[in-house]
Structures are given as structure tokens and as C-alpha cells.
Chain A
């Protein structure tokens, strides 16, 4: 048991995909903690291991080829790695639920949206079917869909509306932890703004903890309390939002900020990070970022840096901060 009152605490999580061609080290020694009602942003580029981490929390990593090699995941003080599949089924959609990126593929095309919401409710709560349908309509109202559309099928809705339905399903059993995997990436900006606003309000209403997976630092600035920046399967920097945005330390985080065209100021040319994301099957030795880092020293290629606490709960995985 853990001592803290954290909603979720992940310690040393390591997930590998074992394939015929080799081992993909998708997540390596990941440590994060989320308090009740708190939201954390998991930021990084394609292949950083964000989605695998999320699937790991729900024990949904496809096995084979995926495997949780090591680590502990405490949900409300209980280690879910030790839980059996039937026990996990009671947790998923109930205590922890997930919103996937693509609302087109995460809904059942041959079920009305109301029935899909009621399905989750009936799975986890004992109540007559008629009552569940009623509750489903209430949930639809909460996400801004009028009851006259409750009996429509997903294809009759636009992308933004479908994502609202997905959110309604995710929140139907009042989960304590919500994992949102790029929930607005498939949407246009004005629709994204609607959905983010909705999520923010519902999160407050239900006092849900949230993991927001995104590649967009703008969304993090808006919705999260804490930020974990991921690179090649590791959290390279971890801090409160204000601290991270005002005082980014890890060379990768700084590179990420410099790569984004700034809408407020004019810059002549962007300062991209040189090179490419490493092949996760063939990660560089030592710090995974060192081949792209302009501050790399010879030691960087030898040893995986530990996370150094530089104060204000700001953790940086870079030997430059080893005091």
C-alpha cells in the first residue's frame, strides 16, 4: 500500500513489445503521480510512449506482443498489476475510463448512441434497463446533445458531436480517473475549443482526475495542472505546469518549445531539434536524447541519467542538473 492520497501512482513502469525483429522498449522506468481532481498532461511526439503508458494503466497493452516488464501502478492505493482480468473489467469504464483519439472508430456503428451509453451503465451499476436509458439521456444533455438525437446512430453525427458521445460514455459511471488520449486531435480548432471547454467543466463537476495525452503544448497550458514530457519511452521532465512553462530545463523540452511557431511574436526562422526520433527497437545507449542534444557530453552516451529534483518538485532527467 502507498501512504499518499494519490489517485494514481506509477512507479518504475516498463513496457516492452517483443516482436520477431527485436524488442521495442516502448516505456522505460516511468514514474508519475496524480492527486485527486488533478490533471496531468503527458506530452511528446509520435512514438514517445504516451499511448502505451495509458494502455498500461488500464492493463490493455495487447499481449502478445506487449508486456508489462516491471513496475507498480497504484490506483487508489491498490496495485492493479496484480489484479486479475475479471477484476480489471470491473475497473475499466467504471473507476477509470478512457477517451480515444478517433471518435469515428471508437463508437459502435450499429448501436444508437443512447444504447451505447446505457450499455456502460448497465455493466457497472445494478438498475433496470429503462432507468439506464434515462440516465444515458441525462448524460447526453450534459455533453450538449439534445434528447431528440438520442436514438441516432454515430454516422449521423459530426466529428465533434461523436467525441461528445464518447465523453458521455466515459463519464457515465462517474470515473475517478479519466484518461484522454489526444481527444481533440481529429477535430477542427473551433470544435476543439468546444470539446476542451466541455471537458474542463465536467472534470470540475465530477472532480475527476485526468491524464491528458497530447502533442500540443497549447492544450496542456490550458487544461493541466502538471506536465510530464516524454521522449523515447521516458519522462524526461516532470513539473507543475507553471514551473515547466516558465522554467523549462531539459534540452528536449526547450527544443520542443522552440519548434512551435509562435503566434504572439515574429521569429525569422524556427529552431528545430536536429535529427529524428530514435528507433525504439534500437534506442541509443545512455540518455535517449543525446544524439540530438546540442549540450550532450561524452558521459551522456554511457549512462541513463537519473531524475534530478531541482526544487519545486521539478524533476529533470539530464546529467546537466546533477549537483
Chain B
């Protein structure tokens, strides 16, 4: 039986801007089971990265609950937060910006150990760094080089080694491969997969790339303008997408196969501004299936079948009638 590891309830994150409140994450719920991966997918500005950061309290949530093993992180004091941070790590998108250019590879990987004083002697730190470098496939001769001397793939491996240094059980992966070329991307995805199996890690994998998300996830949540519009196990969403946005998103991906002929749904316009969003379905303005009910009533994310839920009035009506 799957064990709930992380549960997020009614999570909201608003930012104050000159033009009003920006609803980056607006009332979302999800669960990640132990040892599994939740893929959070959506386009720029949908709130997926903000969600990843709020879950780790790198950004303070506006409202909601974030339960790690049943305990609400938002109620933690400083001391407890410190302990929690050892357990929950993050790998950032841009391996060029997330590493200190004035620290060598071994210093970067050792930093979390030094800060948290988990390992005392210098010798032990060295040993731990060496074993971490081996785990992520970095040659030991790279110990004393600086990030600028390395390519993107190796830099991302440093970021992963640093995230693993404190033996976390949970890692937020914020677009970890989107800055990499495909042949290198495949190496990193395989590495993340192996580490999950070996160390029993739980991942929140944030990406805009549906084919990457499909490859790594057990469950997938599709976000649009701060809301989760569809949740599903990794397979069914690709066979039978329910939400009109998910359908359009899937049809928009160019597939490297000349035999597949697809009906492409071209959405009109751009993603609207998340500042003071109108009531009703967030997708209303671009939806090709919209009805009057969608304009003023926000659809709820409701279960439609085993392991699947969707937030769309049209789908809900069809299921009912």
C-alpha cells in the first residue's frame, strides 16, 4: 500500500504587485506517495516552479497546509525547519546560475555538510564528497575544478550531488534538464531514475516538457494559471486527456515520428495575466469547448475515475449525464 509522503492542501501563493495581487498558485491540492514522482507540468507562468519553492518554504505560502509525513511544515519553528531542510532538497533549472563560480566542485558539494555540521572531521567530509561524486558519475579528478570549466551536464551532476549530500528523502527537481542537449538530458534523466531506485527518493519533478514528464513520473498534474486542471496517473493522460487544455497541450507537441498524423488543436491567444484573474474557469478565454457556466463558476478538481481528477464543467457534465 502506498504511503502518503507529502500532502498539499488548499495551497495558495499570492505576490503583491503594483497592479494588484498576482495569483501564482491558487488553491491547489496534491499528494505524493513515498518513493514516487509527481510530475508538475505547464507553460511559463502557470505557477509550477512557485509550487516547488513554496513546498520547501523557500517562499512563504499565503495560505494552505503542506504536510510532510503528516506534519504541517508551515507551522514549523526555525529549529524544526532546519531539520526539515536536510530532508528536502532542490535541484535548480540553470546549472550555470545555481553554482557559486568561486567555489570548486568539492567545496560546492561539501557546503551542505559543513553548514549542517552533520560530518565532523575533514577526512570524513572528503570521503563523503568522493562517494557523492562517484554516485552522480563525476570523475574524481574534477574535485578541484571550478564550475565554469565544466559543461552543462556535469554542472547539473554537481547540483544533484549537492542535493544528495544530506541524505534527503525528498527532492524538488525544477526543470533539471531543460537547459541541456537531448543526448545529455537522457544521461541525467537515467541518473535521476537510478538514484530514486537506490535511495528510495521521492521527487516533485517540475517541467514544461510533457515527454520528459511522462518518462519520469508516476502521477502527473497539469497546471494552468495557478490551478491544477487535471491529475492523472502517468499513462492514461496521454491516451485519453480529459481537460480541453491538456488536449491542446498534448496536440501541440511536435512528435519525432513521421507516421503519426494528429488533429492539432491550435489555441487562440496567450496565457492571460495571473494578476487579479477573473472569476470562473481560468482557461475560459482560450477554451474551444467553453459554455456559459464556465464564465463565472470556477470548476473544482473532482475525481472522475480511479486516480484521475479534472477541473472542467464540460467534462463533469458529460460524466453526470
A positions within 8 Å CB-CB of B: 45-46, 158, 160-161, 188-194, 196-197, 215-222, 241-242, 245-246, 255-264, 266-267, 269-273, 276-277
A189, A220, A259: which has the most chain B beta carbons within 10 Å?
A189
Indicate if the CB atoms of B253 and A263 lie closer than 8 Å.
yes
Contact of A276 among B153, B189, B256, B266 (CB under 8 A): B153
Q: Which residues of B contact A190 (CB under 8 A)?
A: 43, 248-249, 252, 267
Lowest 8 A-B CB distances belong to which pairs? A218-B254, A272-B186, A217-B256, A261-B215, A193-B252, A259-B186, A188-B43, A45-B181
Task: Select the residue from B186, B208, B235, B253 with max chain A CB neighbours within 10 A.
Answer: B186
Chain A residues contacting B253 (CB-CB under 8 Å) are 189, 218, 263
Decide: A259 near B185, CB < 8 A? Known: A158-B270, A221-B256, A264-B257.
yes
B211 touches A45 (CB 8 A): no
Q: What are some 20 contacts across the A-B interface (CB < 8 A)? A: A45-B183, A158-B270, A161-B270, A189-B210, A189-B249, A190-B43, A193-B251, A215-B181, A218-B254, A219-B254, A222-B254, A255-B183, A256-B182, A259-B183, A261-B186, A263-B238, A264-B257, A270-B215, A272-B183, A276-B184
Residues of A within 8 A of B248 (CB): 190
B183 partner residues in chain A, CB cutoff 8 A: 45, 255-256, 259, 272-273, 277
Residues from chain B with a CB closer than 8 A to the CB of A46 are 181
Q: How far is the CB of A104 from chain B (nearest CB, A)?
A: 13
CB of B44 closer than 8 Å to a CB of A: yes
Q: Number of contacting residues on B, CB 8 A? A: 38
B122 CB to closest chain A CB (Å) equals 32
Q: Which residues does B use to contact A, with CB under 8 Å?
A: 43-44, 151, 153, 181-187, 189-190, 193, 208, 210-212, 214-215, 235, 238, 248-249, 251-258, 260, 264, 266-267, 270-271
Nearest-CB distance from A48 to chain B (Å)? Answer: 9
Residue of A219, A261, A271 touching B211 (CB-CB under 8 A): A261
Q: How far is the CB of B147 from chain A (nearest CB, A)?
A: 15
Complex-state Cα separation, A273 to B211, whole angstroms = 18
Provide the bound-state CA to CA distance between A216 and B269, in Å.
24
Main secondary structure of the interface of A (DSSP, over half): helix
B182 touches A269 (CB 8 A): no
Knowing that A190-B252, A245-B256, A272-B184 are A-B contacts, what are 4 other residue pairs whose CB atoms are under 8 Å apart, sorted by A's residue number? A261-B212, A269-B190, A272-B190, A277-B151
Query: Are B255 and A218 closer than 8 Å at their CB atoms?
Result: yes
Contact call A277/B266, Cβ cutoff below 8 A: no
**B181 close to A261 (CB less than 8 A):** no
**Nearest-neighbor residue (CB-CB) of B267 within chain A:** A190
Q: Which B residues touch A270, using CB under 8 A?
A: 186, 189-190, 215
* Contact assessment for B214 and A261 in the assembled complex, using a CB-CB cutoff below 8 Å: yes
Cross-chain contact B258 with A221 (CB below 8 angstroms): yes
Distance between Cα atoms of A140 and B186 in the complex (Å) = 40
CB distance from A66 to the nearest CB of B (A): 22
Nearest CB of A to B291, in Å: 21
